[in-house]
Amino acid sequence: MSRYGQLADQLQQQITSGLWQPGERIPSIRQSCKTHGLSPMTVLQAYQLLESRGLILARPQSGYYVKAASTAQRE
């Protein structure tokens, strides 16, 4: 499995287990790079994958946020 896929799966597990609540901001790309030792492009790919899964939402110039449970379930 790709590194971005592993990170996306890890974050998805954290979201579904309740570590990150709906509306809460997840770590920035820079923070995740430092924490996981990955490049910004790898972290961005993981975040884009989570967006496509309907779990997070990008807010321009603000970061990435966990979608509300009802919104994530519809997609």
pLDDT tens for the 75 residues of the chain, in order: 899 999 999 999 999 999 999 999 999 999 999 999 999 999 999 999 999 999 999 999 999 999 986 544 444
Compute the half-sphere exposure of residue 18: CA atoms within 13 Å on the CB side of its CA.
0
pLDDT, residue 68, reads 85
> Which residue bears the tokens 């924490």?
35
Distant-in-sequence contacts of 15-19, Cβ < 8 A, 24+ apart: 15/50, 15/55, 15/56, 15/66
In DSSP terms, which residues pair with 25 in a beta bridge?
65
Q: What is the pTM of this model?
A: 0.87
